[in-house]
Amino acid sequence: MNDKNTPFVYLASQSPRRRQLLEQLGVAHELLLPDAHEDAEGLEAVLPGEAPARYVQRVTGLKLDAAMERLKRRGLPPAPVLCSDTTVARGRTIYGKPADAADAARMLRELAGTTHRVLTAVAVQSGRARRTALSDSRVTFARWTPAQIRDYVASGEPMGKAGAYAIQGRAGAFISHISGSYSGIMGLPLFEAAGLLRAFGLRV
């Protein structure tokens, strides 16, 4: 556990990648994960006609609302809470986490040989004050053969990842170009996150 005399943040995310990126910033943190009764996945439902940027910012806000309730309910020491959410989009089509292997293969077939956006929203709240930021990057995939898609899906890596891939994993071999934030594509844009945390007085 963190020494409560040391400034720290609560990270309200189950993603090991976000924890790794926060460690990269040198920020002391503790996980603030959902209780068993919380429907964390249900917060990620897309509203009809919702634009990708609006969607990812709204979901991040809902996740932060839930985390603040959790903090209060558990009677934990006050500290800033950081939340983040990532989505992949082509045009107005949102690619969230695949439901199963077949869904992952479908997403990869549609994204192969194209350029798509990776949008990651970040929000930090301390007390009543909340600050937000949005990272908007572009990723270009080379073409994938059906066998390559099949092998990648079989590796299990696409599951639990927006757009059914992890840039830091095997999918990196098929990415010909990126524009924007590599860490944002991973799930926590370090530049934006650092700015938000500094605004709440943390040393980054």
The SS3 of residue 134 is strand
DSSP characters over 109-130: HHHTTSEEEEEEEEEEEETTEE
- Strands 93-95 and 129-141, by their bridges, are unpaired
Which one-letter amino acid corresponds to residue 12? Answer: A
Annotated active-site residue in 39, 65, 85, 100 = 85
Closest CA to 120 of 168, 83, 87: 87
Whether 34 and 41 have beta carbons less than 8 Å apart is answered as no
85 is catalytic: yes
What are the structure tokens assigned to 192, written together? 């934006």
146: tokens are 């059906």
Q: Which residues are catalytic?
A: 85
